[in-house]
Amino acid sequence: MKLLLCVTGGIAAYKACELTSLAVKAGHEVRVLMSRRAKDFVGPLSFAGLSGHPVFSDDSEQAMDHIELARWAEVACVAPLTAHTLGKLACGLCDDLLSTTLMALPAAKPVVLGPAMNTQMWEHPVVVRNLGWLQELGRYTIVAPVAKRLACGDVGPGGLAEPAELLAVCERRFREATNLTLA
Ligand SMILES: Cc1cc2nc3c(=O)[nH]c(=O)nc-3n(C[C@H](O)[C@H](O)[C@H](O)COP(=O)(O)O)c2cc1C
């Protein structure tokens, strides 16, 4: 499976390192695409080392990267998905490489979303509406966050789902998409 892992700027960005490692060990090809903000949380070198490939980001952007990445990927996973990038995705805003690539993905390609945020943010009606809207579109698989003690000290939903679960969902969606293509 060719997995495009999109990492946005949340405290759970470090867990995307584990997801990268698990995916590579499972024999998948992984390319990591980071938002500008994500790089404040985890250095691109960690992802480059774990995936074995340079990281894509606004700083390294080449002409048509968004189209080429969208064509290359068989599955895209956004983990962690911030409230900010969720809002952009729901509104069709494409102001960086990550959001533009997500918009350029062909409709048949599965996109798995792993939202992670503070509980108040997670329960905010705008976030609820944005996720509901994406779910209605039928193109996105949302892996719900877990309830736990969050980094901000709150206890409640908002923690990123476990990397192993996110990978399992990506693999399942990939198998389903491949079977559909072959059928
Ligand atoms: C320490 C810290 C932790 C943050 N954690 C989260 C988070 O877990 N989820 C979230 O939605 N936003 C979080 N934010 C806010 C995002 O970093 C901010 O909305 C940013 O604009 C997201 O940009 P991006 O979606 O392009 O990566 C955090 C901000 C700070 C300073």
CATH at 80: 3.40.50.1950
Q: What is the C-alpha separation between 32 and 55, in angstroms, rounded? A: 5
Q: What is the C-alpha separation between 151 and 166, in angstroms, rounded? A: 20
Q: What is the C-alpha separation between 155 and 101, in angstroms, rounded? A: 34
Q: What is the C-alpha separation between 12 and 115, in angstroms, rounded? A: 10
Centroid of ligand 1 to alpha carbon of 11 (angstroms): 7
Report pLDDT for 183: 62
Domain count, the chain: 1
Q: What is the C-alpha separation between 16 and 50, in angstroms, rounded? A: 10
Q: Which atom of ligand 1 is nearest to the CA of 85?
A: 25
Is 170 tagged catalytic?
no
Say yes or no to pLDDT of 69 above 90.
yes
Report pLDDT for 182: 63
Nearest CA to ligand 1 atom 22: 9
Centroid of ligand 1 to alpha carbon of 177 (angstroms): 31
DSSP structure class, residue 55: P
To 10 degrees, the CA torsion angle through 177, 101, 113, 122?
A: -160
Q: What is the C-alpha separation between 83 and 12, in angstroms, rounded? A: 13
Residues 128-160 have pLDDT tens digits of 999 999 999 999 999 999 998 988 888 889 999
Per annotation, catalytic residue among 77, 91, 94, 152: 152
Nearest CA to ligand 1 atom 19: 84
pTM score of the predicted model: 0.97
Centroid of ligand 1 to alpha carbon of 4 (angstroms): 20
Centroid of ligand 1 to alpha carbon of 9 (angstroms): 5
Report pLDDT for 34: 98
> Which tokens sit at 51?
């995936």
Q: How much is the average pLDDT of 9-32?
A: 98
Report pLDDT for 39: 98
Report pLDDT for 115: 98
Q: Which residue has the tokens 């533009």?
A: 100
Say yes or no to pLDDT of 62 above 90.
no
- Domain interval for residue 176: 2-182
Q: Count the Cβ atoms, other than its own, within 10 Å of residue 162.
A: 16
Residues 28-40 have pLDDT tens digits of 999 999 999 999 9
Residues 76-122 have pLDDT tens digits of 999 999 999 999 999 999 999 999 999 999 999 999 999 999 999 99
Q: 5, 33, 82, 130: which to mutate for ligand 1, most atoms within 8 A of CB?
A: 82
Report pLDDT for 152: 86
> Which tokens sit at 67?
């189209």
| Backbone CA torsion sign across 90, 96, 99, 103 | positive
Ligand 1 pocket list (CB less than 6 A): 8-12, 35, 37-38, 82-85, 116-117, 121
Cα of 129 vs its chain's centroid, Å: 19
